[in-house]
Amino acid sequence: MPTYMRRNPNGSGYEFRRGVPKALQAEIGKTEIKEVLGSKFSDACRKCNQLAAETDRLFEDARAKLRSAATQKQNKRPYHDFYSKLRVIDRVTPELTEQLKAYWESMVDAADVQRRETGFEHLPQEEISSAQQEILPMLRQAWARGDASAFIPSLHQTLHLRGYRLAEQLISSDDEKRLAMALVRSHIKGIQLIEARDAGEDPPVVVTAQPLSSGMSLSGDSIETSNAAADALMLSKVVSHFLATWPKNKKEMLKKHSFLLNAFLEVVGDLPVTSLRQAHVNEFFRLLQRLPPRWQDARRQQKISLRDLAAQDHPTVISPVTFTDAYKASFWVSPDKTDTFDRYVD
Which of the listed ranges 179-183, 201-205, 245-249, 328-332 does the model predict with the highest average pLDDT?
179-183
- Give the long-range contacts of residues 275-280, CB within 8 A, separation 24 or more: 275/107, 275/110, 276/235, 276/344, 276/345, 276/346, 277/345, 277/346, 278/345, 278/346, 279/114, 279/118, 279/122, 280/345
Of 153, 182, 198, which marks where a domain is finished?
A: 198
| 192 and 298 assigned to the same domain | no
| 68 and 194 assigned to the same domain | yes
Question: How far is Cα 224 from Cα 217, in angstroms, rounded to an integer?
Answer: 6
Rounded to 5°, angle at Cα 43 from 39 and 46: 135
Helix runs in the chain, H state only: 25-28, 41-72, 82-85, 94-117, 125-145, 152-161, 174-198, 235-244, 251-268, 278-288, 295-302, 306-311, 320-322, 329-332
Mean pLDDT (whole number) for 208-225 = 53
What distance lies between CA 101 and its chain's CA centroid? Answer: 18
How far, CA to CA in Å, does 248 sit from each of 226, 238, 243, 245? Answer: 28, 18, 10, 8
| 194 and 266 assigned to the same domain | no
Which of the listed ranges 170-184, 234-248, 263-277, 296-310 does the model predict with the highest average pLDDT?
170-184
| 248 and 149 assigned to the same domain | no
Of 152, 177, 198, which marks where a domain is finished?
A: 198
How do 87-89 and 164-166 pair as beta strands? parallel
| 175 and 50 assigned to the same domain | yes
| 298 and 242 assigned to the same domain | yes
Identity of the amino acid at 14: Y
Q: Where in the sequence is the domain holding 188, given as residue range(s)? A: 5-198
Q: What is the pLDDT of residues 112-158, one digit of tens each?
A: 887 787 777 666 778 778 778 888 899 999 999 999 988 888 888 88
Does a structural domain hold residue 205? no
Question: How far is Cα 120 from Cα 114, in angstroms, rounded to an integer?
Answer: 8
- pLDDT exceeds cutoff 80 at 85: no
Of 148, 176, 198, which marks where a domain is finished?
A: 198
For residue 221, what pLDDT is reported? 34
* Bridge partners, residue 34, by sequence: 17
Question: How far is Cα 151 from Cα 158, in angstroms, rounded to an integer?
Answer: 11
Mean pLDDT (whole number) for 291-305 = 84
Q: To 10 degrees, what angle do helices 152-161 and 41-72 make?
A: 60
Does a structural domain hold residue 170? yes
Average pLDDT of the chain? 78
- pLDDT exceeds cutoff 80 at 66: yes
C-alpha closest to that of 345 among 213, 245, 225, 239:
239
pTM, full prediction: 0.43
Could you tell me the end-to-end alpha-carbon distance of the chain, in angstroms, rounded to an integer?
A: 11
Q: How many independent structural domains does the chain possess?
A: 2
Question: How far is Cα 342 from Cα 346, in angstroms, rounded to an integer?
Answer: 8
Which of the listed ranges 12-16, 67-71, 248-252 does the model predict with the highest average pLDDT?
12-16
| 194 and 240 assigned to the same domain | no
For residue 278, what pLDDT is reported? 66
| 193 and 241 assigned to the same domain | no
C-alpha closest to that of 181 among 122, 100, 120:
100
pLDDT band for position 346 (cuts 50, 70, 90)? very low
Rounded to 5°, angle at Cα 305 from 301 and 308: 100
Which of the listed ranges 34-48, 126-140, 265-279 does the model predict with the highest average pLDDT?
34-48
Contact 212, 162 (CB under 8 A): yes
For residue 168, what pLDDT is reported? 87
Question: How far is Cα 52 from Cα 49, in angstroms, rounded to an integer?
Answer: 5
pLDDT band for position 8 (cuts 50, 70, 90)? confident
| 66 and 121 assigned to the same domain | yes
| 102 and 170 assigned to the same domain | yes
How far, CA to CA in Å, does 29 sit from each of 78, 241, 339? Answer: 24, 32, 21
| 152 and 23 assigned to the same domain | yes
| 104 and 58 assigned to the same domain | yes
